[in-house]
Amino acid sequence: MVTGMATAMAMGTARRPVAIRRPEYLPTGSASRLCLTLHRWLGRQVLPQMVGVMGVATFAAHAQEQTPVARAGFFLQPRLSISETVTSNVGLDRGGDARADAITDISPGLRVSSRSGRIVGDLDYALHGLIYARRSSASEVQQSLSARGTAEAIEKWAYVDASASIAQQSISALGTRSVDRNLADSNRAEVSTYQIAPYVRGPLGSFANYQVRWDWTSSNSSGSSAQSTSNTASFVLSSSQALFSRLGWSLNASRQSSEFQNRGRQSSTSLNGRLTFAVTPEFQLSAGAGRERNDYQRLSQKSSTYWSGGFTWKPTERTVLEVTREHRFFGNAYNIRFEHRTPRTVWTFVDNQDVNTTASANGTNSPRTVFDLLYAQFASIAPDPAQRAALVDAFLQNNGLTRSTLVNGGFLTNAASIQRRQNLSLALIGLRSTLLLSTSRNDARAVDPTATNAGDLSNGRNLHSTGFGINVSHRLTPLSALSADLSLNRNSSTGDNRTTRLRSLSTTYSTRLSNQVDLSLSARRTLFHSDVDPYNESAIVASLRMRF
């Protein structure tokens, strides 16, 4: 609710016109025309939205200072970031068509965290006003949002889970791609994904527990026709742990309805049961069976028997291994998760395959960022989502890293797809140095092989993606750090034998000028290989970040 009010206030402020007049300090001649153009664009496109964000942030920060209860369980931090990028190839053009440019990024943002009471969650939002010195027509406003939280509507009975994200994403995994969202990339769209899930849960006497849940997910993109909406209703009845100590059971019934733009509504239903048996406190066996039915393939209903088997092994609080094999309507599927943590290392391996019913296929090379990687790896250190996000942000800041480090793109599709994701990651955390490794693979195909408007998955094409990333950071002093980042990504399609390769190397120096001000300087080199539009690019970036 707090997020919705803040967003509404910011949007309301953004609609108010800002009077534009020629400032007296501007020079005359061609320089004057350029400066006046930038001045007008800032006033009409960037400043109104910035005023909205910073106004809400200032109001909330003032309220936080005035309310002792808020200081104990509520955290808000406005910020303002200004960066300048000088690039050798702003349009990602090949060879002699490359054009250099300077890009100014003015980005107000705020981070909100609630850790007590009935609303627990974390929100990070920022506006990015991009100004191109030579290619003024490409100037734009981008948004970034990462939010998740849980609200307890009725004590110990009714709850609401919610999450939202806004990010820049590749439209096609086989098109031109870049590691920098500020470059003028025609193969990029701003993707917004929202999810809300109210549910109730409680005991059914002393015999069982119940949960009734409804999930709504919407994914939209600007600059692309890929849009989707899905609704899932589910009912779960499970055994009471107080009555069943070693043997457990559960019954699950669900129905999902999903719709992609320019495609009809599709639905799936499932009914299954599951048994678990604790051989020892550390080792548990599981087995399940049921029926599922869907109409993902055009003009046909498909029913099949579902079965699964697996085990969970948790020898210590720092180690867990979960293995499940399933037989689904599309064939055999696997769900494997391994996590191991030592005082200085975190090891993670994930291998899963399932149906994706959203337009945003973000799992192409999951995890997409260092923040995603550490957020998953720090789960055992900080189970609370808000505290975990704060811990990860502090770690990144102390080591000269950003949330967008090790970005791997996804792709957009307009049809239900079957995706298998595999990821192996390692974090070595020293007293002053940190090493982050991540390697991944993803295979995707449309459920309906005859789909003709499914983007990269149209006409039965299969998409294969592999990614590798390594980041090394070292704290030079308590206030400064140096990091190096290498990322490799390869995408290929079996239908038309297309292949793209993206390689990028960057180094970053960061330092804290004061308790509230950080400065970073970075340089990068990017090489993109494609049969259609190859390019190379070099850039230098200077960034100043202020917290209030």
SS3 57: helix
Question: What's CA 416's distance to the chain center, in Å?
Answer: 20
The Cα 457–Cα 445 span in angstroms is 6
SS3 396: helix
Count the Cβ atoms, other than its own, within 10 Å of residue 156: 8
Q: List the chain residues with pLDDT less than 70.
A: 1-72, 223-225, 242-244, 262, 298-299, 359-370, 372-373, 376-377, 379-381, 384-386, 394, 396-410, 414, 453-454
The answer to whether 353 and 433 are in contact (CB under 8 A) is no
The Cα 398–Cα 367 span in angstroms is 21
Inter-CA distances, 442 with 92, 178, 363, 370, Å: 26, 19, 8, 18
The Cα 512–Cα 519 span in angstroms is 6
The answer to whether 534 and 94 are in contact (CB under 8 A) is yes
Is the bond preceding residue 367 a cis peptide, omega within 30 degrees? yes
Token output for 529: 């290989």
- Print burial letters for 122-134: b (CB count within 10 Å at least 16), e (below 16): bbbbbbbbbbbbe
In sequence order, the 6+-apart residues with CB closer than 8 A to the CB of 149 are: 3, 114, 119, 120, 121, 122, 123, 161, 162, 163, 385, 386
| Four-residue CA torsion sign, 353, 357, 363, 368 | negative
SS3 95: helix
Token output for 257: 């309805």
SS3 525: strand
Residue among 55, 49, 59 nearest 14 (CA): 49
| Four-residue CA torsion sign, 232, 235, 236, 240 | positive
pLDDT at site 484: 92
Residue among 324, 410, 415, 413 nearest 366 (CA): 410
Residue among 413, 411, 420 nearest 440 (CA): 420
The answer to whether 525 and 78 are in contact (CB under 8 A) is no
What string of DSSP letters covers 356-381? E-SSEEGGGGSS-SHHHHHHHHTTTT
Q: Interhelix angle for 385-398 vs 370-377, to 10°?
A: 130
| Four-residue CA torsion sign, 266, 269, 275, 276 | positive
- Side-chain half-sphere exposure of 17, counting CA atoms within 13 A: 3
pLDDT at site 373: 66
- In the predicted model, what is the mean pLDDT of the chain? 80
The Cα 170–Cα 34 span in angstroms is 31
Residue among 363, 374, 367 nearest 413 (CA): 363
Residue among 296, 320, 293 nearest 304 (CA): 293
Whats the size of the chain, residue-wise?
548
Tokens 């061609």 locate to: 30
| Four-residue CA torsion sign, 450, 296, 164, 464 | negative
The answer to whether 382 and 376 are in contact (CB under 8 A) is no
The answer to whether 137 and 131 are in contact (CB under 8 A) is no
Model pTM score:
0.77
Tokens 């307890």 locate to: 152
pLDDT digits (tens, 9 = 90+) for 298-327: 667 788 898 999 999 999 988 999 999 999
pLDDT digits (tens, 9 = 90+) for 402-422: 565 544 556 777 677 888 889
Count the Cβ atoms, other than its own, within 10 Å of residue 355: 18
